[in-house]
Amino acid sequence: MLSAVVLALFSPIQGPPAGYNWVQNPDNGHYYALTNSKIRWTEAEAEAASIGSHLATVRNLSEHQWIEANLIFQSSWIGYSDANVEGEWEWISGEVFSWWQDNGHFGADGSPGYWSPGEPNDQGNEDYAVIRGDGWNDLPNDGWSGDPMRFGVLEWVGLDSDGDGLLDSEEDLDGDGVVDAGETDPFDQDTDDDGLGDGEEFSPVRNWIQNPVTGNWYRLTSEPKTWTDAEAEAISLGGHLVGLENLVENDWVFNTFGGFGEFLWIGVNDVQQEGDWVWANGESSSWWAQNGYFGAQGEPGYWAAGNQPLNYDDGFDYGYMDGQTVGWPSMWGAVLNDTGVPGRLFQGVIEVGRVPMTDPLAVDSDGDGVQDGTESGLDQIRWFGDPGNGIAGTDPAIFVADQDPQTTTSPLDMDSDEDGLADGVEDLNADGAQGILETDPSALDSDGDGIQDGTELGLVVGTADTDLDVFLADADPATTTNPLAVDTDGGGVSDGEEDQNLDGAFDSWDTDPLLAADDELAFYVYNLIPGERVRYKVFQAKPFINVIPVYSLVGAGPTSIGLGVVLDLSMPIHQLDGFRTDGNGFGDAAAWGAGGNVPDSAPPGMPVYFQAVEVPTRPGETVRVSNALVVPVGAN
């Protein structure tokens, strides 16, 4: 069989269907034509569907003006309708966006678009839009009485020979019928054979718009939803609800995604601290417009008069862009809960630094050693091609099926779990499943001992994609523990308990996770913070026995306290509240309410020397003492 590349030489990119006077719009490459006769809107859409098309979607003023200049005769049907729900205008193509022009051409009912003045007015069940010189108008399916029919504006976006969701013209960029460098194959559904179709990998960029000033990418949430769910969708795409750095970005977002009468979630909120308005993406910018619209108490922002948070105790925690403020439609409002206004959820504006799009020409987009499809959880081939028609699919000789599709990693992040180890280093055979000797690339701490995998293995730096706000570098890379063993030394206390601050170093307040002997009657002190209540734990003491913590502010001793007991503390020695162990010899002072407040005057860094003593319950029992600790105030 001829290869797709050779076959493409004899299969040039095809144009739109014959039988119409098509005109190509140079701005978007789409073809437009009028129906061959004046017909009803539903008939015009049916004719469009019969040739694999739709009535035209008008995406911006430039497209409106081009159609007006090149196609329309009197007024002609476009693919905009509120037949499903009165007042909710939708594009028949399924595209979701709204736009308007700053010259007053807003819909009479607040509908986004380029409506003629006073339209749409729904006089006589007018559910279908026509385009004309001064804007759009709504008409019934039969048009006006006395002039019932209209031409329809057809739009043909192009041919998709392999059915991968990309037009041939988008794959063969220069239209020469040859798969050149940087081009996907219009006759191969999965050019790089990673299991993801070319359209799945490339098409997400269509939904994003790049701001030429910030360089970041923006899009709306998939549907109207709560602020919380909108932020969750943004995080899943590698971003947050938009953070607005200045008035220029604010107005760009409104002009790109908003509309008169529209409400859009933005990232500003005071969920964590009432009255402390912050951005969901962590930006520190606080600004305001120079027209006097400040927050209720001088709070920086672009709050609309009457929609601003009126005081700091009102519970209005979620910010949105308010498209109903006449004259200032890009200003902000706040709502009491994250469900928007009664009966109406909002879409949110998502902002990301990089479009979450894998590379259809690279089997491993992030270069971590695991294929994109494997990381995405694909456990079988879904793109089979159409060999009889010269259409290739996913090559089974290249594709690696995910052996555990219940766990996935990111094909756009070399270190999905941020533990410092590349996904391919953890998944050694790159099959998507955690093997016996492999750490889990989807889990920061594979063995659940509290210490990150990379820290246990001695990493001091991570990969290029490791999030440094998550990753904890090993403070002593010369000593390592086993990231697949909860208790590396087998002494009975987990690595995370022995290494109290989980940093990989053996500090003076730790026991050694590589030495089993010090796990017996192992004592730990934590929360030694001025003004706070000190806490302590003991492991592997005798069951149901009282333990008394003691400490010194002077030094490490030794000091004999009689009965052959020597403490590693210097006099004077102070006693803390005792506590009782359980049947396993574990005791937690917090469970007993034991402990004591650290004096507010305790200087940070002052060393305190600790030890614990088992109190015998029967005559003749040996008095045991724990490991000695040196805990500087504020260190743990």
Q: What is the pLDDT of residues 81-122, one digit of tens each?
A: 999 988 888 899 888 766 665 444 556 666 777 888 888 887
Specify the pLDDT at position 85.
Answer: 86
Residue 247 backbone phi and psi in degrees, to 5: -65, -30
Band the pLDDT of 11: cuts 50, 70, 90.
very low
Are the beta carbons of 598 and 553 closer than 8 angstroms?
no
| Higher per-residue confidence, 620 vs 575 | 575
Res. 58: pLDDT tops 70: yes
Q: How many helices (H) and strands (E) does the chain have?
A: 12, 26
Q: What percentage of the chain carries pLDDT values higher than 70?
A: 87
Specify the pLDDT at position 307.
Answer: 59
- Do 342 and 460 reside in the same domain of the chain? no
Of the listed ranges 29-33, 124-128, 258-262, 332-336, the least confidently predicted one is 258-262
- Do 433 and 552 reside in the same domain of the chain? no
Band the pLDDT of 619: cuts 50, 70, 90.
confident
Sign of the torsion formed by the C-alpha atoms of 119, 257, 84 and 80: positive
Specify the pLDDT at position 272.
Answer: 85
Q: Is residue 198 part of a domain?
A: no
Q: Is residue 570 part of a domain?
A: yes
DSSP structural state of residue 5: H
Sign of the torsion formed by the C-alpha atoms of 475, 478, 484 and 489: negative
Over residues 65-88, mean pLDDT? 87
| Domain finish residue from 352, 375, 396 | 352
Q: Is residue 178 part of a domain?
A: no
CATH number of the domain residue 39 falls in: 3.10.100.10
Segments forming the whole domain that contains residue 615: 520-632
- Do 110 and 236 reside in the same domain of the chain? no
Q: Which two tokens stand for residue 523?
A: 């004592």
3-state secondary structure of 298: coil
Q: Is residue 309 part of a domain?
A: yes
Contacts 24+ apart (CB under 8 A), 90-97: 91/57, 92/45, 92/54, 92/55, 92/57, 93/54, 93/57, 93/155, 95/57, 95/59, 96/220, 97/59, 97/220, 97/257
Q: How far apart are CA 343 and CA 255, in angstroms?
A: 25
The total number of structural domains in the chain stands at 4
- Do 260 and 278 reside in the same domain of the chain? yes
Q: What is the pLDDT of residues 114-158, one digit of tens each?
A: 888 888 887 778 899 999 877 899 999 887 755 668 899 999 888
Are the beta carbons of 349 and 324 closer than 8 angstroms?
no
CATH number of the domain residue 527 falls in: 2.60.40
Over residues 345-354, mean pLDDT? 88
| Contacting residues for 622 by C-beta, under 8 A, at least 6 apart | 616
Query: Parallel, antiparallel, or unpaired: how do β-strands 535-539 and 546-552 relate?
Result: unpaired
Specify the pLDDT at position 309.
Answer: 63
| Domain finish residue from 156, 171, 187 | 156
Q: Is residue 65 part of a domain?
A: yes
Q: What is the pLDDT of residues 576-604, one digit of tens each?
A: 888 899 999 999 887 555 666 787 888 89
| Domain finish residue from 487, 511, 535 | 511
Are the beta carbons of 332 and 304 closer than 8 angstroms?
yes
Other CB atoms within a 10 A radius of the CB of residue 557 amount to 17
Other CB atoms within a 10 A radius of the CB of residue 117 amount to 10
Specify the pLDDT at position 561.
Answer: 84
| Contacting residues for 496 by C-beta, under 8 A, at least 6 apart | 449, 450, 451, 486, 502
- Do 557 and 600 reside in the same domain of the chain? yes
Residue 181 burial by CB count (10 A; 0-12/13-18/19+): exposed, middle or buried? exposed
- Do 217 and 339 reside in the same domain of the chain? yes
Q: What is the pLDDT of residues 364-414, one digit of tens each?
A: 999 999 999 999 999 999 999 999 999 999 999 999 999 999 999 999 899
Q: Is residue 402 part of a domain?
A: no
Amino acid 597 reads N
Are the beta carbons of 85 and 122 closer than 8 angstroms?
no
Q: How far apart are CA 341 and CA 618, in angstroms?
A: 70
Q: What is the pLDDT of residues 173-195, one digit of tens each?
A: 787 889 998 899 999 999 999 99
3-state secondary structure 320-341: EEECCCCCCCCCEEEECCCCCE
Band the pLDDT of 329: cuts 50, 70, 90.
low
Q: What string of DSSP letters covers 459-476? A: -SS--TT--TTT----S-
Specify the pLDDT at position 463.
Answer: 94
Specify the pLDDT at position 1.
Answer: 27
- Do 293 and 226 reside in the same domain of the chain? yes
Band the pLDDT of 10: cuts 50, 70, 90.
very low
Specify the pLDDT at position 209.
Answer: 83
- Do 229 and 312 reside in the same domain of the chain? yes
Specify the pLDDT at position 103.
Answer: 46
Over residues 265-293, mean pLDDT? 80
- Do 420 and 507 reside in the same domain of the chain? yes
Specify the pLDDT at position 2.
Answer: 31
Q: What is the pLDDT of residues 492-533, one digit of tens each?
A: 999 999 999 999 999 999 999 999 999 999 999 988 888 888
Q: Is residue 172 part of a domain?
A: no
Cis upstream peptide for 356 (omega within 30°)? no
- Do 477 and 552 reside in the same domain of the chain? no
User: Which pTM was predicted?
Assistant: 0.69
> By C-alpha distance, which of 196, 152, 200, 201 is closest to 53?
152
Specify the pLDDT at position 4.
Answer: 38
**Diameter over CA atoms, the chain:** 115
Residue 142 backbone phi and psi in degrees, to 5: -90, 5
Band the pLDDT of 7: cuts 50, 70, 90.
very low
Q: How far apart are CA 508 and CA 556, in angstroms?
A: 12
Task: Please provide the average confidence, as pLDDT, over all residues in the chain.
Answer: 86
| Higher per-residue confidence, 534 vs 261 | 534
Specify the pLDDT at position 95.
Answer: 80
Specify the pLDDT at position 470.
Answer: 93
Q: Which range, 293-302, 394-403, 531-540, 563-572, is most confident?
A: 394-403
Q: What is the pLDDT of residues 419-476, one digit of tens each?
A: 999 999 999 999 999 999 999 999 999 999 999 999 999 999 999 989 998 999 999 9
- Do 253 and 335 reside in the same domain of the chain? yes
Q: Is residue 372 part of a domain?
A: no
- Do 223 and 287 reside in the same domain of the chain? yes
